Amino acid sequence: MDVLSWNCCGMGMGPKVSALKDLIFKSRPSILFLCETKIDNIDDFRRLAKTLNDLSFSHSEEVLSEGRSGGLGLFWGDGVKVRVHSKSARF
């Protein structure tokens, strides 16, 4: 099982999403972890999750950013069992 972790320094719906798609196609991870997404709105996170769902990441967990810092996203597909015990803006 491969995990792709990326400190994306902001995940807007533009060039970074294209770069992320390229990374996914090249490495074919089972789990994707994004840190410093700077996504502070659940609708924006859901839009990203929908984009990644099209790439077989049908499940996700998020920690929204506080303003313009932080933000986490964890994504995985049906073939992977993930259980998040806790989550916080601090970890």
Residue 59 CB-density burial (10 A; 0-12 exposed, 13-18 middle, 19+ buried): middle
pTM: 0.91
Residue 15 lies in a domain: yes
70 burial via Cβ count (<10 Å: 0-12, 13-18, 19+):
middle
- Per-residue pLDDT, 89: 79
* Helix H or strand E encompassing 20: helix 15-27
In a domain, 82, yes or no: no
- Confirm whether 50 is domain-assigned: yes
Q: Write out the residue range of the structural domain in which residue 14 sits.
A: 3-76
Tens of pLDDT, residues 29-64: 999 999 999 999 999 999 999 999 999 999 999 999
Token pair for 52? 């990644």
